[in-house]
Copies of this chain bind each other. A is one copy, B any other.
Amino acid sequence: MKRDQSTEEKIKAAAKKVFMTKGFDGCSVRDIAKEVGSNVALLNYYFRSKEKLFELIFEGAMSDFLQSMIAVFSSDLTLKEKVEQLIDKEFSFFLEHPELPMFILQSLHQNKTDAPMPSHFLEPIANTGIFEQFEKAKAQGEVRDISIRNVTLLLMSNVHYPFMSKKLTMQFHGITAEDFDEDLKKHKEIVKELITNYLFISNPKA
A147 at the interface (CB under 8 A from B): yes
A89 at the interface (CB under 8 A from B): no
A20 to B49, CA, bound (A): 27
Nearest-CB residue, chain B, relative to A199: B194
With A161-B157, A161-B160 known as contacts, the answer to whether A150 contacts B187 (CB < 8 A) is yes
A109 CB, nearest partner CB in chain B, Å: 5
Which residues of chain A (154-192) have a CB below 8 Å from chain B? 154, 156-158, 160-162, 164-169, 171-175, 183, 186-187, 190-191
Looking at A3-11, A74-82, A100-108, the stretch in contact with chain B turns out to be A100-108
With A26-B110, A102-B106, A110-B23 known as contacts, the answer to whether A169 contacts B183 (CB < 8 A) is no
A41 at the interface (CB under 8 A from B): no
With A102-B106, A110-B22 known as contacts, the answer to whether A149 contacts B162 (CB < 8 A) is no
A65 CB, nearest partner CB in chain B, Å: 9
A25 CB, nearest partner CB in chain B, Å: 4
A202 at the interface (CB under 8 A from B): no
- Which residues from chain B contact A160 at a C-beta distance below 8 Å? 161, 165
Per-residue contact bits, chain A 124-150, to B (CB 8 Å; 1 contact, 0 not): 000000000000000000000011011
Per-residue contact bits, chain A 89-119, to B (CB 8 Å; 1 contact, 0 not): 0000000000000101110111100001100
Cβ A172 vs Cβ B152 within 8 A: yes
Write the residues of chain A forming the contact surface with B, with a CB cutoff of 8 angstroms: 21-23, 25-26, 102, 104-106, 108-111, 116-117, 122, 146-147, 149-150, 152-154, 156-158, 160-162, 164-169, 171-175, 183, 186-187, 190-191, 193-195, 197-198
Residue pairs across A and B with Cβ atoms less than 8 A apart, 24 shown, are A23-B110, A25-B25, A25-B26, A26-B110, A102-B109, A105-B167, A105-B168, A106-B109, A108-B171, A116-B171, A122-B172, A147-B186, A149-B175, A150-B186, A152-B172, A152-B173, A153-B161, A153-B183, A154-B194, A156-B168, A157-B158, A161-B164, A164-B164, A194-B195
